[in-house]
Amino acid sequence: MRIFCGSLLFILLILATQAVAWGQTGRPTSVAELATYTGADREQILVEGAKKEGKVVWYTTLIAYKEIANFFESKYSGVKVEAYRTDSRDLIKRVLTEAQARRSQVDAIETTPPGLMTFRENKLIAPYTSPHVAAYPEATKVNAGKGLVYWVTDRESFVGVGYNKNSIKPSEVPKNFEELLKPALKGKIGISGDETGVRILGAMLRVKGEEFVRRLKGQDIKMYPISGGALNELVVSGEVAIAPSIFRNHVLSSIEKGAPVAWVPMELVASNAGGAAVAAQAQRPHAAILFVDFLISPLGQKILEEQFKFGSPIKDYGFKRWYPESGFTIDQYEEASDKWRKLLREITRK
């Protein structure tokens, strides 16, 4: 009997050892396993798994989400993109509400830093790696430790001075923040009253200080309670001659349509960035990680830059970028942006 028990224990130990070995050599399947897997067969595993899952549920604030989804579906036939697009505030609310109800639907997320910071603090995004991460500057990825990231910046919208060439003479075009004080520009400057204007004011404060910003009040700047994109349309029409809160990509698209507009960077260019993240509770982990890989891959970057005029974080455009949220917690950034917003109202007229 003692010999039988000893033999049985030996067999059980062998089986347990084999089970551990099978677990170690088997393919990764969970979000955590797939997100950190770096084997040579990584892409093959992701593609095969994504096709079995059939789709990826993608939440984003990107306006061009339909076109990007089409590019992904063309590259990975058999994997559909089910996208939900809204603004940043509503996206945050939806993800948090789903998580609290334990009914999370999202697999992959692409949105701006305030949302990503909120999700990180609530442990709703998974640390991950990708073969493409190494190509990105440190400032464009958020470290999660152990060589992993919470998100990687996949697109940038640069905020600078946009102007109508029929309204502003070449000699009047400012080359830096100081030159916004040129007498010839008095009464001609407009600025967005939304986050775009707030962020460029933050850049001015960082470079020139509050005393300079308050001097701008003498330029009779009109604040428009609209987005940077909408303000660009007023610059295109000539209703606004010049504005320091204009996105480079909007101007490039307008130029392609024949508009008489141009864009110039200041000494510090505020960047509205979008980052790609993997949902911690992704129901379709293969498709989620494959989709994030696609966004930050050279192909994804080429599509975002050439088709939609976004800046790519892996390219040097000859000016200094600034990410306003960098180094802040979500509460700290909101406190800073509230101060910038208050000052913006004080130096402008409606």
pLDDT tens readout for residues 84-142: 999 999 999 999 999 999 999 999 999 999 999 999 999 999 999 999 999 999 999 99
The CATH number assigned to the domain holding 201 equals 3.40.190.10
Q: What is the pLDDT of residue 3?
A: 39
Average pLDDT over residues 144-155: 97
Mean pLDDT of the chain: 92
State whether 137 and 223 are in the same domain: no
By residue count, the chain amounts to 350
Same domain, yes or no: 278 and 250? no
Domain identity same for 198 and 150:
no
Q: Is there a domain that residue 210 lies in? A: yes
Residue 227 CA to residue 55 CA, distance in Å, equals: 33
Domain range for 165 is: 158-269+333-347
Task: Give the count of alpha carbons within 13 A of 117, CB side only.
Answer: 17
Beta carbons of 310 and 155 less than 8 angstroms apart: yes
Q: Give tens-digit pLDDT for 213-223.
A: 999 999 999 99
Interval 187-195 mean pLDDT: 96
Do 144 and 166 lie in a common domain? no
Does residue 167 sit in the same domain as residue 144?
Answer: no
Q: What's the pLDDT band for 143 if we cut at 50, 70, 90?
A: very high
pLDDT in tens, 292-309: 999 999 999 999 999 999
244-263 pLDDT tens trace: 999 999 999 999 999 999 99
Query: What value does the mean pLDDT take over residues 334-344?
Result: 96
pLDDT band for position 238 (cuts 50, 70, 90): very high
pLDDT higher than 90, residue 82: yes
pLDDT at 288 over 50: yes
141, 164: one domain: no
Distance CA 287, CA 285 (A): 5
What is the reported pLDDT for 29? Answer: 83
User: pLDDT tens digit string along 166-187?
Assistant: 999 999 999 999 999 999 999 9
pLDDT one-digit tens code per residue, 7-49: 444 434 433 433 333 344 468 889 999 999 999 999 999 999 9
Residues 76 and 133 in one domain: yes
Task: Assess whether pLDDT exceeds 60 at residue 243.
Answer: yes
- The total domain count for the chain is 2
If asked whether residues 217 and 297 sit together in one domain, one would say no
Alpha-carbon torsion, ordered 314, 319, 324, 326, to 10 deg: 50
Tell me whether residue 6 is exposed, middle or buried, using C-beta atoms within 10 angstroms of its C-beta: 0 to 12, 13 to 18, 19 or more: exposed
Residue 12 belongs to some domain of the structure: no
Tell me, yes or no, whether 215 and 183 share the same domain. Answer: yes
Q: Compute φ and ψ for 81, nearest 5 degrees.
A: -110, 115
Is 322:265 a contact under the CB 8 Å cutoff? no
Both 81 and 229 in one domain: the answer is no
| pLDDT tier at 326, thresholds 50, 70, 90 | confident
**Whole-number Å distance between alpha carbons of 256 and 70:** 23
**Domain check: are 139 and 278 in the same one?**
yes
Record the pTM: 0.85
Residue 245 shares a structural domain with residue 100: no
Strands 148-164 and 141-145: antiparallel
- DSSP assignment of 202-256: HHHHHHH-HHHHHHGGGG-PEEESS-HHHHHHHHHHTSSSEEEEEEHHHHHHHHH
